[in-house]
Amino acid sequence: MSAPGTLSGQGGRPILVTGGAGFVGANLADALAREGHAVIVYDALARAGVEANLAWLRQRHPARISAVVADVRDRGELARAVAEAGAVVHFAAQVAVTTSLVAPRDDMEVNLGGTLNLLEAIRARSAPVPLLFASTNKVYGNLPDIALVQEGEAYLPGDASLRARGIGEDRPLDFHTPYGCSKGAADQYVLDYARSYGIPTVVMRMSCIYGPRQMGNEDQGWVAHFLIRALQGLPITLYGDGRQVRDILHVQDAVAAYRAALARIDRVAGRAFNLGGGPENAVSLRELLAHLGTLIGRTIETEYADWRPGDQRYYVSDTRAVREALGLAPATPWREGVAMLAAWLREWLATERGPAPRTRMAEAAL
């Protein structure tokens, strides 16, 4: 790890984290502040529960965390924050496929418009600063050409080499749903601003990140959502047959990747990486639920509904490129990471949040 103040491109200035009160953003802001860096948390606080993350950050790091409560669509406020920053990490987004289908214009204005606002604010500076962008595996579409076979409770590629390595960055882009379009277009803008304007950018196409401070709900954050429902003894609805497979990555490993990208920005600028748990952390929804039942000591009631638009029956990241380029350690084994999240959620439900109303909620978006 770099010493405080020595991240490449930082120049002693604070690091701006948009969406910094969100799940991954708050974890990264905490890690940076613990290392001695000043952090500007820029967040509209639109998602329920993120105020608690901001309060937690301020309590832990009163001298290093400053906050700007504003929307990324506010170009003036965003430009003022960028003007102070030595580096930017961009998490602020509309994050749910379901919401994008209901309100596609809002989705586009936040995800694509907000990202363009940020890029333009950086371009306006005399010396552009590094930008890391949180993209998504949804840029690859629903992968209909990958032949799958059902093995037990999971769908897996029939191609043994693909099963062993996962989906690589050379996979053609194929945007599905308004969310996929808005994030995918933003992904491409970020890469093009490196080509066209020399801004040192990196794109992280993230798979399913989970861990502490994730208040998963019916639309986003499915691992935490499943655990919250299971711990409260409430039923879980699966869309499709539950054999969908994802590679899940603990947030501490995602934070390590972003830290490494900031430290190595001179070597990795202009690149996109698939960031996930990889084949060794691939698990189907049914397999995860079975493990959760063992973890909490009771059977979890499960219901089923129709497949959601654009759902991938299989997505696992090929993590070889990101590990090699950033020198990353092996990811946390998913059973170990899920146990850590369960312990955190037990405490959170008992103290910070308290019991939720016993209402029936849908399964989280993947």
What are the residue numbers of the active site?
179
Cα 66 from Cα 195, distance rounded (Å): 32
What pairs with residue 16 in β-bridges? 40, 88
SS3 state of residue 147: coil
Cα 262 from Cα 196, distance rounded (Å): 21
Q: Are 110 and 183 in contact (CB under 8 A)?
A: no
Take residue 190 and report the two structure tokens written for it: 């970020």
Distances (CA, A) of 1 to 211, 223, 254, 286, 307: 22, 29, 15, 38, 43
SS3 state of residue 8: coil
CA angle 256, 266, 3 (to 5 degrees): 50
Take residue 248 and report the two structure tokens written for it: 């899940």
Cα 352 from Cα 337, distance rounded (Å): 21
Q: Are 333 and 248 in contact (CB under 8 A)?
A: no
Name the phi and psi angles at 243, rounded to 5. Answer: -90, 5
Cα 267 from Cα 180, distance rounded (Å): 28
Distances (CA, A) of 267 to 131, 208, 262, 327, 329: 14, 26, 10, 12, 18
